[in-house]
Structure 1
Amino acid sequence: MSAVSRLRRTGLTSTGAWMALAAVCLTGAGTWADYPELVTLGLAATGALLVAALWLLATPKLTTVREVRPRRVFEGSAAQGTLTVTNVGRRGSPPLVITETLGGDRTTVTVPALAAGHDCTVSYPLPVGRRGRYTIPPVRLGHSDPMRLLQRGRAAGSELVVHVYPRVHLLAMNTFGGAQDAEGHTTSNAPLGGAAFHSLREYVPGDDWRRIHWGATARTGTVMARHVVVPDEPRQLIVLDTSSAPYTGTLFEDAVRVAASFCVAAEGSSLPLHLRTTGGAERESSGTALELLSTVQRDSADRGLAALPDLVRDVVTDTQGVALVVVTGRTDAAASQLLMSLRPRFLSVSLAQLVSPDAALPARPHGVLAIAAANSEQFATSWNRLVLR
């Protein structure tokens, strides 16, 4: 993107501030004490500031192209900024100081002096710590006079957005959730072209002749063909509790990481994914789910797992199985009873609980695959050990 100058600001550097103070003090003291040498020193300091101001009047003509890759990263990964500065003016440009700001953290890079028509490309790491959606403001270009008394800066380019996704852990999919099967459950409106037999129907010109069922054709006197479709795949419904009550400390962050890990695991197994939060947000693909999870927050007004029956009412059907995964903090007896009442409606119900290590382990609901852990990493270890055994 081409640089667009928005706001030019000129100000004193720390050296310039001391120089200005010296100019005022020396001139004032020399005048009061009738000491011409002090007045001369004060005027010299003032002259240096004026020369610095005149130097900065000649602003170099520069264009910039900025890139940030990748724009979507996971916690703990690195993002890289690349800036190409081109001097399109007729005179050389002084050394520049480039300032990037991401999430309140500043990164400063120096660009050397550029002759007319020359360019320079610099790369620098960008801090991407906690999950979130970060808006990177326009890059700030700054330069100063040779004596470093004054500095002038301007914003160039446009804003960029970087998504920092929650950290994910490798999770095995729960086989009780219904493995994909080429001869699995089928429906008449399922996509054609699969390998699962659904029914027999009359042959239609253009059908693959290898699908003709010769036995049925001989019995009926009508050419019959096998109607094959893509079998229904078990969907993964992941519900993240976004209420405040179940979590203490940083356990909510671990719960978000667990939910993100289940989303990535479902996508890796090519299973349809549906993510919902008890606050009402929902997504139906791994990419959009991770974007939601990068910004989701706890809400004290959230009903928590009490909203679960309403959240799953429209998801469960008679023609397609659903595996339910609930991610929350510490649960009470009412939540356990609720999960047990929902269990017959799903292929499986899994409960991920992020609890304080010094807290008593919550009761495990009957028929529910429940795992309690102190953080997301411990949960992933316990889950994989249980599912893969």
Structure 2
Amino acid sequence: MSGATRGAGRRGGRRRAPLTGAGWTVLATALALYALAAVFGYRLLAVCAVGLAVVLVLAVAWIVVGPRVDLTRGVDPDRVSVGEPALGRIDVRNRSRLPSVPFVAVDRVGPDTVELPVGVLPGGAARPVYYPIPTVRRGRVELGPLTVERRDPLGLLRAARRVAAPALLWVHPRVHPAATLPVGVVLDFEARTTANARLGTLTFSSLRDYVPGDDPRRIHWRTTARVGHLVVKEHIDTTEPTTTVLLDNVSLADGVTFEHAVEVAASVYRAVELEGRPVRVHLVHEESVPDAVDSLDLLAAVGVHRDSRSGVLERIQRLPGGGVLVVVTSGDPALLPRLADQRRRFNPVVVVQLTGDRDATPEGMHRRPGMTVISARHAQDAVTRWNHLAGGQSE
């Protein structure tokens, strides 16, 4: 759980104008009544104006004493799938030896505002405050900034101070249980390493310090003699095939169909990742997602880009060959014959077509020269047919 702490009673924080709409109304009314009393000599109007002014002064006195508290905001957990519970947590600690005055902690969850009343807190005490965060849609949900507000009982004035930096909640796409396909050939045997290469016994990569349990045959004696302690050779397997998932975020213009496509891509990615095998997700229209650490974060934030040309083939040509190629796209029949040529670079090639409810493309799993085509209207149906393919079954 991540969070940032700022003292609400310290100087510095960004303040907002203290008068609310009701406060401005009372102030304007008091000034108007006093002006009328001065012009026409009505003492009753003057008394009313003074009374309203006294109310404003009392409201100022109510909010001028701010709480001396520290607030830490976090999200638990900070990554969930659609529909899974996520809680925002605010830890409130009273820095004073005296009881704190009541206040309202205000947080923003995406475009929405959440108000959390915090009652009197004994001196030196701490209290957590929880609130649910909606996860009905995938996305990169920004939380914050968190502010502390002090309000008078009549709602005339409101003093606000920012006390914590923004945080993030990643709502990943829904993942359906998926199997993995047998990986095919690898086209690069030049011992070039990649970020997703796994430990193996094929190619020398680097040297590292010896740890108990290492194979003595891997000790590099020349370096050991030079540095004075045991050093072993590290090998990696640069020829292990990679599963490449390409999500078409251009031609899948229908929002509902695109969400199903994202779920299919996430399901395939997660299945391969759980087996510890190399897998990468790419987009036809590449996006830069701030703070993303893996492909599920990327899929949480991906959106549709309107374009007259799909660009699927051009994007595939820029991808490294070898292993499984999974293309998640729309039901465009003109694309399939050209995708079949990719069997020279990938093995196997699987095209998952999300057709949507209004598309006339027949559903099912079809074998074509050089590839397999899965057509489905929904993500669950597509993953079910994918599992049939992985198990060697036919419909």
Asked if residue 259 in structure 1 is aligned to residue 262 in structure 2, the reply is: no
Equivalent position of 1:97 in the other structure: 104
> Which residue identity lines up with residue 67 of structure 2 in the other structure?
P
In structure 2, C-alpha distance between the alignment counterparts of 1:373 and 1:94, rounded to whole Å: 59
Go from structure 1 to structure 2 and tell me whether the alpha carbon gap of 1:48 and 1:246 turns closer, same or farther (over 3 Å shift).
Answer: closer
RMSD: 3.5
Q: Which runs of 5+ in 1 are unaligned?
A: 180-186, 195-204, 209-227, 317-321
* Contact 1:99 1:140 (C-alpha < 8 Å) held by counterparts: yes
* Contact 1:246 1:331 (C-alpha < 8 Å) held by counterparts: no
Asked if residue 293 in structure 1 is aligned to residue 299 in structure 2, the reply is: yes
In structure 1, C-alpha distance between the alignment counterparts of 2:59 and 2:302, rounded to whole Å: 49
In structure 2, C-alpha distance between the alignment counterparts of 1:113 and 1:332, rounded to whole Å: 66
Go from structure 1 to structure 2 and tell me whether the alpha carbon gap of 1:315 and 1:167 turns closer, same or farther (over 3 Å shift).
Answer: same
* Contact 2:67 2:102 (C-alpha < 8 Å) held by counterparts: no
In structure 1, C-alpha distance between the alignment counterparts of 2:159 and 2:318, rounded to whole Å: 55
Asked if residue 384 in structure 1 is aligned to residue 384 in structure 2, the reply is: no
Percent identity between matched residues is 28
Corresponding residue SS for 1:6: coil
Equivalent position of 1:133 in the other structure: 140
How many residues of Structure 1 are paired with residues of Structure 2 in the alignment? 345
Deviations 1:80-121 (A, max 9, x none): 111122222354332111111121022221110223323322
Equivalent position of 1:327 in the other structure: 328
Equivalent position of 1:272 in the other structure: 278
In structure 1, C-alpha distance between the alignment counterparts of 2:369 and 2:179, rounded to whole Å: 22
Asked if residue 340 in structure 1 is aligned to residue 343 in structure 2, the reply is: no
In structure 2, C-alpha distance between the alignment counterparts of 1:295 and 1:341, rounded to whole Å: 31
In structure 2, C-alpha distance between the alignment counterparts of 1:27 and 1:229, rounded to whole Å: 85
Deviations 1:38-83 (A, max 9, x none): 3212211111101211332232322112221111122222221111
Which range moves more in the overlay, 2-11 or 19-28?
19-28
* Contact 2:67 2:103 (C-alpha < 8 Å) held by counterparts: no
Equivalent position of 2:372 in the other structure: 369
Go from structure 1 to structure 2 and tell me whether the alpha carbon gap of 1:366 and 1:113 turns closer, same or farther (over 3 Å shift).
Answer: same
* Contact 2:171 2:300 (C-alpha < 8 Å) held by counterparts: yes
Go from structure 1 to structure 2 and tell me whether the alpha carbon gap of 1:271 and 1:206 turns closer, same or farther (over 3 Å shift).
Answer: closer
In structure 1, C-alpha distance between the alignment counterparts of 2:341 and 2:362, rounded to whole Å: 18
> Which residue identity lines up with residue 13 of structure 2 in the other structure?
R
- Rg larger in 1 or in 2? 1
* Contact 1:330 1:362 (C-alpha < 8 Å) held by counterparts: no
Go from structure 1 to structure 2 and tell me whether the alpha carbon gap of 1:30 and 1:154 turns closer, same or farther (over 3 Å shift).
Answer: same
In structure 1, C-alpha distance between the alignment counterparts of 2:296 and 2:154, rounded to whole Å: 50
* Contact 1:97 1:110 (C-alpha < 8 Å) held by counterparts: yes
Q: Which runs of 5+ in 2 are unaligned?
A: 192-197, 203-214, 219-234
* TM-score (ref. length: structure 1): 0.77
> Which residue identity lines up with residue 372 of structure 2 in the other structure?
L
Equivalent position of 2:355 in the other structure: 355
